[in-house]
Structure 1
Amino acid sequence: MSDSAPTATPDRPGALPAQSPPVDPAVTGAVGKGPGHGSGGTGRLSWWRGDGGEGARRNLALIGVLVVLILIGIATRPDLYGDSGWVWNNILTILKLASVVGVVTVGMTFVIIGGGIDLSVGAIVALAGVWSTTLATQSYGAGGMIFTALLVGLCVGLVNGLLISYGRLVPFIATLAMMVAARGLAAQISGKQTQVSDNATINGIASTDLLGIPLLVYILAAVVVAGWVLLNRTTFGRRTVAVGGNPEAARLAGINVRWHTVLLYALSGLCCGIAAVMLTAQATSAQAAMANLYELDAIAAAIIGGTLLSGGRGTIVGSLLGVIIFSTITNLFAINGLSTEAQNMVKGGIIVAAVLVQQFQFRSLTQFLSRNRLTTG
């Protein structure tokens, strides 16, 4: 028996017309969702709202969390917050702290919206950083180092996507295996030693300021803007929402779901390559253990920002706010002399709380739709 879609015949009312081409959701909006439901939404949505009124409320709530954190900082260290110069420098410190993880989070947001997960991002950053700081690579100058980092990140991301889409591996398993393999390869390349970056141009990326703002912050801003445009103003973004929301419906609508998934993981890998250059510049070195637990930070920031773990919804602005919240928490712990262990416990609690809120919202929506069907039926 053929698995193809039924053709229109007189005795099969409601069957698909034989000559009707598939309807691409890039034109009509995300498959299975009304306009503006997902991050793709429609071209009329503002950058702030992202996915409609719900997105605006969520972003305002995140701003509220930031305000609370600032008030906690003022209450615990009034001596520091009383100095306006220190406050401005501290804001720049938080943004600089958020820059590297923020770039990784942009790629992670695309993957999660598309219905996947990437546990290998930290390892990809490490591998790209180590490979770009070998003596052979450094001999080609800053351009060669940057190109190598981006290429390594892109290629590893492609491998992830191919394993998941065409190897039919579960994203969790495929990227977990890549996490182990990439760190192992990074350790092999570096001989388990720290590789020092001798390139002044690369190292200067972390120490250069433009108009009093670190260059790393500008790089983060550029990646965020590019990610927002790609997600909200292009066919690629609308297809990403469609694939994550309902992959089968997206396939029937004419989207090559497998290849699109490959591209999502390649994009995540490319973001990791950019982050590797930034992190190498900050440390003026690279090693196999760098970017440890970046996957946790990126996933947590995306979830806090409103990205559904089940896929189909999320915003770049929300993810950015999530990164800034975690960076502010890190900064708050640092100025109060609290341990990294306590910080990680707080992060874990926030992640659990965010997932519980998502589950509650999903159950509420499901019950609402069920009641509507019963009423209209």
Structure 2
Amino acid sequence: MKRFAVRFARTTEMTLLVICVVFFVGLVIASDGDLLAANSLRVLLQFLAVPVLIGLAQMVVLAVGQLNLAVGAIGGFAAVSMGVLMAEHGVPVFVALLIGFLLATVAGLVNGLLVVLTRINGFIVTLATMTVLLGVQYRVVGTRTVDDYPQSVKSFGSHAVFGVLPLIFLVALVVAALLAVMLRRTVPGRQLLASGGNPIAARLSGISNDRSVIIAHTLSGAILGVAAILTVASSPGVNKSIGGDWLLPSFAAPIIGGALLTGGSAVVLGTVLAAFIVRFVDTARAEFSLEPSWVNFVVGAVVLGSVVLGQLRSRRQERRTVLKAPDAAVAGGVS
């Protein structure tokens, strides 16, 4: 237990946890304690659920060395589909939400299949599917806002356990926990990380890199399906702008959380903590009446800094490996 505590204290997650605590304490002081009120905490956590999920959706694709630019388009398309089905076609709530979830999952699956079948970089593939889905989203909802769906959906989005913990936030945490178990404790999850970390070694070990890419994109779509459900439940209505501001936060959370753009890393806890930090930045903007553009500026700067630091760490690790290699060779020759 002590060894684990020492190891955790040196991780990126521990650093992020400390930053979260400092941020929270600072905001509590700046708000004269108003942030500790039950309603303030509930609102803070309620608007954190979707950023956590879209960060995880991007993280699982980054784990295989891919990018998903269609995060917002998949989630927005699924969300407006659910809203229109319930409000304008009288589809039962459960069926409409299930259809929207399946649409997002299938969209993720299609992304994975296109990457594998065409051998085109995921950046280009998801850019294309993003454009297509944005057009479909506009076709489905047009310029109107759909909000006439059953009150039970909105009640689910506003319900809070003990008056503080929003149910939708707890759903996001459950998804994060299931994803962590899947990546660390199941064979497909470990194979996915192996494919992202070293595709050549994975293939020599009998692992299908193509299958890992498909699984990663499909998982990403499924997580976005859950994010779409929570969006419909927590928003006053859905329209063509849903998902339009998801792209930057989807990259910010996993990259700040320690994910490598080259793949092979699963930073579920880091992604969740980084989503907290981004949310705290937004809260600080509102508290100090700053321009909304400052949030994007700060988040973008932090993401860029995280990428640069990640590259420096990777190069330093490579140099250490090269320096150790001759010693290992000499030792082998002596024996």
Post-superposition offset of 1:192: 2.9
Secondary structure, counterpart of 2:309 in structure 1: helix
Question: Where in structure 1 are there 5+ consecutive unaligned residues?
Answer: 1-43
Q: How many pairs are equivalent?
A: 326
Of 296, 306, 323, the match for 1:354: 306
> 2:124 aligned with 1:124, yes or no?
no
Tell me how far apart the structure 1 counterparts of residues 42 and 195 of structure 2 sit (CA, whole Å): 37
Alignment of 1:161-176 (within 5 A): 161-176=112-127
Distance between the aligned counterparts of 1:188 and 1:169, measured in 2? Answer: 27
Q: Does 1:64 align with 2:14?
A: no
Whether the 8 Å CA contact 2:59–2:266 is kept in 1: the answer is yes
Deviations 1:143-202 (A, max 9, x none): 122111101101110110011111211010011111111111100111232222421121
Offset, 1:54: 6.9
* CA-based RMSD: 2.2
Q: Distance in 2 between matches of 1:54 and 1:256?
A: 32
Contact 2:73/2:244 (<8 A) preserved: yes
Q: Distance in 1 between matches of 2:177 and 2:151?
A: 28
1:114 is aligned, of 41, 55, 64, to 64
Q: In 2, Cα distance between the equivalents of 1:84 and 1:138?
A: 41
Task: Please report how far the alpha carbon of residue 350 of structure 1 lies from its aligned counterpart in structure 2 after TM superposition.
Answer: 0.4
CA 1:84 to 1:332, structure 2 compared with 1: closer, same or farther past 3 Å? closer
CA positional deviation for 1:98: 1.3
Q: State the one-letter code of the partner of 2:239.
A: Q
Shift of 1:269: 0.6
Identify the range of structure 1 (162-171 vs 101-110) with the bigger mean alpha-carbon deviation. Answer: 101-110
From 177, 182, 196, the equivalent of 2:147 is: 196
Find the structure with the greater CA-based Rg.
1
Aligned with 1:194: secondary structure? coil
In the alignment, the residues of structure 1 paired with residue 298 and residue 314 of structure 2 have an alpha-carbon distance, to the nearest angstrom, of 24
- Counterpart of 2:27 in structure 1 is 73
Alignment pair present for 1:147 and 2:98: yes
Q: 1:83 to 1:202 in 2, by over 3 A?
A: closer
**Alignment match of 2:197 (pick from 238, 245, 255):** 245
AA at the equivalent of 1:252: L
Query: For residues 55 and 358 of structure 1, do their structure 2 counterparts lie closer, same or farther at Cα, with a shift above 3 Å needed?
Result: farther
Give the secondary-structure state (helix, strand or coil) at the position aligned to 1:133.
helix
Q: Give the alignment partner of residue 219 of structure 2, picking from 236, 261, 267.
A: 267
Query: Does the CA-based 8 Å contact 2:55-2:252 persist in structure 1?
Result: no
d(CA) in 1 for partners of 2:116, 2:306: 29
Partner residue in 2 for 1:32: none
CA deviations over 1:275-309 (Å, ceiling 9, x no partner): 11111112232112112231210111001111111
Give the Cα separation in 1 of the matches to 2:118 and 2:10.
Answer: 39
* Greater displacement, 128-137 / 264-273: 128-137
Q: Which residue in 2 is equivalent to 1:91? A: 41
- Out of 147, 155, 173, the residue aligned to residue 221 of structure 1 is 173
Cα distance per residue 1:319-346 (max 9 Å; x no partner): 1111111111111111111121011100
Give me the whole-angstrom Cα distance separating, in 2, the residues matched to 1:84 and 1:349: 26
Q: CA deviation at 1:84?
A: 7.3
Residue 24 of structure 1 corresponds to which residue in structure 2?
none
* Identity fraction in percent: 27
Tell me which moved more, 195-204 or 349-358. 195-204
| CA gap 1:55/1:180 in 2 versus in 1, 3 angstroms | farther
TM-score of the aligned structures, taking structure 2 as reference length: 0.91
After TM superposition, give the deviation of residue 124 of structure 1 in Å.
0.6
Assess if the C-alpha contact under 8 Å between 1:161 and 1:262 holds in 2: yes
Higher mean Cα deviation, 170-179 or 187-196? 187-196
Task: Give the distance between the partners of 1:83 and 1:100, measured in 2 at CA.
Answer: 24
Correspondence for 1:100 among 50, 59, 74: 50
SS at match of 1:285: coil
Given the alignment, which residue of 25, 33, 37 partners 1:82?
A: 33
For 1:98 and 1:56, locate their aligned partners in 2 and report how far apart those are by CA, in whole Å. 26
In structure 1, how many angstroms separate the alpha carbons of the residues matched to 2:45 and 2:35? 17
Q: Is the 8 A contact 2:61 2:216 kept in 1?
A: yes
- C-alpha distance in structure 2 between counterparts of 1:312 and 1:129, whole Å: 31
Q: CA deviation at 1:263?
A: 1.4
Would you say the 8 A contact 2:35–2:41 is kept in 1? Answer: no
**Unaligned regions of 5+ residues in structure 2, if any?**
330-335
**Is 1:307 matched with 2:259?**
yes
Distance 1:370 1:55, change over 3 A: farther
Q: Distance in 2 between matches of 1:305 and 1:67?
A: 15
Equivalent residue, structure 2, for 1:22: none
The alpha carbon displacement at 1:71 in A equals 4.3
1:367 and 2:319 equivalent? yes
Deviations 1:84-141, CA, capped at 9 Å, x for gaps:
742x543333222210121122222111111111110111111001111224775121
